[in-house]
Amino acid sequence: MLLGSWSDLGRVVLVGTLAYVALVLILRISGKRTLSKLNAFDLVVTVALGSVLATVLLSKDVSLAEGVLALALLVGLQYVIAWMSVRVEWFQSLVKAEPTLLLRDGRFLDRAMREQRITREEILAAARASGIESIADTAAVVLETDGTISVIGSRGGDGARHADTAAPASALSNVAIDGGATNRGDARAADGRS
């Protein structure tokens, strides 16, 4: 059937409007952090909210009250996880990954790239997208906790060039190299080179 019944269409309009208003109110109450996508859990919540909204709109088996409760539950769980990760250090390490250094001073860190399943071509594409002309001009490339790739240009000539971040190269002190070592040590040693 192409259109369905008028009552089905009316239900979609009415329930869709009410569910959308409820979602907007829940998101406004919960704050900006809910949809920030700073880590994998944030992305999961964003996708799950869309799935719940679609189910409420299209399934007669799910009432508006059940859908609003499911939306509130997802946002509430995300709020609790974010609250706990800010206040409890071991919980933060449980739910958040560390950023990973993939390239330093123009040199690829092959072991880190293998562990994160990132190719040289992907790093080169990120460098091109950020306006880096030569990989040798790159101070660092970092795989962030949300899966984005940040490119930090060298400090030659006109200063640092950055993509996806405004952090200077000195801000790399908490970036994981090859599964746990930080760049406080020698990046070449962490990459298995002397």
**How far, in Å, are 6, 78, 132, 183 from residue 70 at the CA level?**
27, 12, 45, 43
User: Could you give the percent of the chain with pLDDT greater than 90?
Assistant: 52
d(CA 189, CA 52): 48
Strand partners, 140: 104, 152
pLDDT tens profile 104-136:
999 999 999 999 999 999 999 999 999 988 899
Among 75, 94, 113, the domain boundary falls at 94
The parent domain of residue 149 ranges over 98-190
Length of the chain: 194
Cα angle: 95, vertex 42, 166; to 5 degrees:
90
163 domain residue, yes or no: yes
CATH of the domain at 173: 3.30.240.20
What's the total number of domains in the chain?
2
Classified as helix, coil or strand, 103 is strand
d(CA 70, CA 66): 6
> Rounded mean pLDDT of 154-159?
53
Name the token pair of 130: 């950020």
Task: Tell me, yes or no, whether 20 and 79 share the same domain.
Answer: yes
pTM of the full structure: 0.66
Which residues have CB under 8 Å from 26's CB, separation 6+? 68, 71, 72, 75
1 domain residue, yes or no: no
Among 94, 115, 141, the domain boundary falls at 94
Of residues 42, 48, 47, the one with CA closest to residue 95? 42
Task: Tell me, yes or no, whether 146 and 161 share the same domain.
Answer: yes
- Reported confidence tier of residue 165, pLDDT bands at 50, 70, 90: very low
Task: Tell me, yes or no, whether 40 and 103 share the same domain.
Answer: no
d(CA 162, CA 74): 35
Task: Tell me, yes or no, whether 11 and 87 share the same domain.
Answer: yes
Strands (E), 50-105: 100-104
Task: Tell me, yes or no, whether 175 and 114 share the same domain.
Answer: yes
Task: Tell me, yes or no, whether 82 and 120 share the same domain.
Answer: no
- Nearest 5°: phi and psi at 109? -100, 90
68 domain residue, yes or no: yes
Task: Tell me, yes or no, whether 130 and 185 share the same domain.
Answer: yes
Name the token pair of 46: 């964003």
Task: Tell me, yes or no, whether 88 and 109 share the same domain.
Answer: no
Of residues 118, 88, 97, the one with CA closest to residue 43? 97
pLDDT tens profile 17-67:
999 999 999 999 988 888 777 777 788 888 999 999 999 999 999 999 999
